[in-house]
Amino acid sequence: MNSTTTVKISPAGGAPQGVAGTGVQRDLHEGFLARRSAFDWVFAVLAVLGGAFALQRYGSAMDIYEKGITVAAVPGAIWLGWFWRPLRVLMLVVAAASLLAIGLYQQGGAGDLARADQVFGLKYFLSSQSAILWMSMLFFASTAFYWIGMFARGAAGETMSLIGSRLAWTGVTMALIGTMVRWYESYLLGSDIGHIPVSNLYEVFVLFCWLTALFYLYFEAHYGTRALGGFVMLVVSAAVGFLLWYTVAREAQEIQPLVPALKSWWMKLHVPANFIGYGTFALSAMVAFAYLVKQSAQELRWYKLAPLWLLGVVLCFEPLVFRRGAGAQGSAYWMVYFGISALIVAGILLGRRRIAARLPALEVLDDLMYKAIAVGFAFFTIATVLGALWAAEAWGGYWSWDPKETWALIVWLNYAAWLHMRLMKGLRGTVSAWWALGGLVVTTFAFIGVNMFLSGLHSYGTL
């Protein structure tokens, strides 16, 4: 006798919810294509049409490799939209807003970058700089609402956390719009200047912010909890704080021509893969921080909390580093930043019992930490291989022990060892969390520290 098993699938594309709650019953014996909704197929058709439009409109400016990437991106986008359905809406909204921005730039004839300060829709919303500033504000607001939700009681707390989640989604949307429009704006400066916006420190910080936030939102839906939003969005807000300072101090928002070594289609693959690794490693570190806070929630002896106080000093140390050589105005900015960071860390320690009660079980935090590192390690490995192939094309050798390459190897070995110890030796708990948190220090130095204190072939984003 054949039996049919049914589960509930959340409309948001989250994890199966069992037989309780709302959702649409799906027959597990149905074929993959049979489970597609009408919207899934509409989205797939729109993705194909979008890819065809890009090739028809801009194909003359692409080489054979770039055309191949564009063609491969279409089924990739369809699969992502089918795998996690909220991405369908995200991609369609970003595409529509980006096309609207391009239309505003092209009103009255050929595109003109000066229109960014003349057209209302561009000046205040859709130019790359405006969209990225909206992203910054939304991520700050999201962090604040997540933490308000952490401490608020009852339905008010759930509402505040939901607002924080929605603001994070909107921030990701504005970041992607800003990225796509900046890509178009670079071509308005000249066909020889146009490039995908992942070429300097300003652009990759934007990439880091939205990738980290988006991966968190996936895990938020998958695990059905918003309690970690405050922790993860702290590291995103820290990145936004650096981005704003870097914009003012270095006028980093200005689009610059690529150096010769970066004029390669390899950049379109290597950099995004690399920053998926950076983003998920940062996410895992903040989950590890939450794990340690929950674990120490009942500890009454303050000297036993010394490691967490030390962690607070480390988290607040960033402003002191960037204060160096920042000038009077920049120094004041980083001192305010330091003060806010210190208050946040102190607040977390003082309110650790309330926070711990809202956080998921330690086993859930441990599992999330593992999955984030596993995803990051896979993409970081791919990025390292792609980087070696790119180096062979650009400089004639796969590996040159450049400082950036060396520190990338250190990051890779750190997480390889973490995964080995977990899978082979069953590493769990406190040691695992501290190791993941320590990995953030190593990753941060590979990301920013090399640009600050070392030099080499990869020094394209100097401070």
Q: Decide: 422 and 428 in contact? Cβ < 8 Å.
A: yes
* pLDDT score of 102: 93
* pLDDT score of 377: 98
What is the Cα–Cα distance from 182 to 98, expressed in whole angstroms?
Answer: 10
What is the Cα–Cα distance from 291 to 282, expressed in whole angstroms?
Answer: 14
As a whole number, mean pLDDT of residues 58-76 equals 88
- The larger pLDDT score, comparing residue 451 to residue 421, is at 421
Statement: residue 124 has pLDDT above 80: yes
Statement: residue 159 has pLDDT above 70: yes
Q: Decide: 216 and 168 in contact? Cβ < 8 Å.
A: yes
Statement: residue 107 has pLDDT above 90: no
pLDDT in tens, 184-217: 999 898 888 888 999 888 999 999 999 999 999 9
**Domain residue extents for the chain:** 1-35
Using pLDDT thresholds of 50, 70 and 90, give the confidence band for residue 458: low
Question: Among 132-136, 232-236, 320-324, which stretch is predicted with the lowest mean pLDDT?
Answer: 320-324
Q: Decide: 210 and 172 in contact? Cβ < 8 Å.
A: yes
Strands (E), 316-362: none
Give the CA angle between residues 218, 183, 84 to the nearest 5°: 20
Rounded to an integer, what is the distance from CA 51 to the centroid of its chain? 24
As a whole number, mean pLDDT of residues 109-116 equals 80
* pLDDT score of 394: 77
As a whole number, mean pLDDT of residues 339-367 equals 88
pLDDT in tens, 245-291: 888 877 888 998 888 878 888 888 999 999 999 999 999 999 999 99
* pLDDT score of 346: 80
* pLDDT score of 8: 41
As a whole number, mean pLDDT of residues 158-168 equals 97
* pLDDT score of 24: 40
* Helix/strand/coil percent split, the chain, to 5: 75, 0, 20
What is the Cα–Cα distance from 129 to 171, expressed in whole angstroms?
Answer: 14
Statement: residue 381 has pLDDT above 50: yes
Please give the mean pLDDT across all residues of the chain: 85
Q: What is the DSSP string of 156-194?
A: HHHHHHHHHHHHHHHHHHHHHHHHHHHHHHHHHT-TTT-
What is the Cα–Cα distance from 322 to 279, expressed in whole angstroms?
Answer: 21
Statement: residue 29 has pLDDT above 60: no
As a whole number, mean pLDDT of residues 393-402 equals 82
Statement: residue 301 has pLDDT above 80: no
Element (H, E) at 8: strand 6-9
Q: Which residues contact 397 (CB under 8 A, 6 or more apart)?
A: 391
Statement: residue 22 has pLDDT above 50: no
Statement: residue 310 has pLDDT above 90: no
What is the Cα–Cα distance from 36 to 48, expressed in whole angstroms?
Answer: 16
As a whole number, mean pLDDT of residues 430-454 equals 86
* pLDDT score of 15: 44
* pLDDT score of 321: 57
* pLDDT score of 307: 61
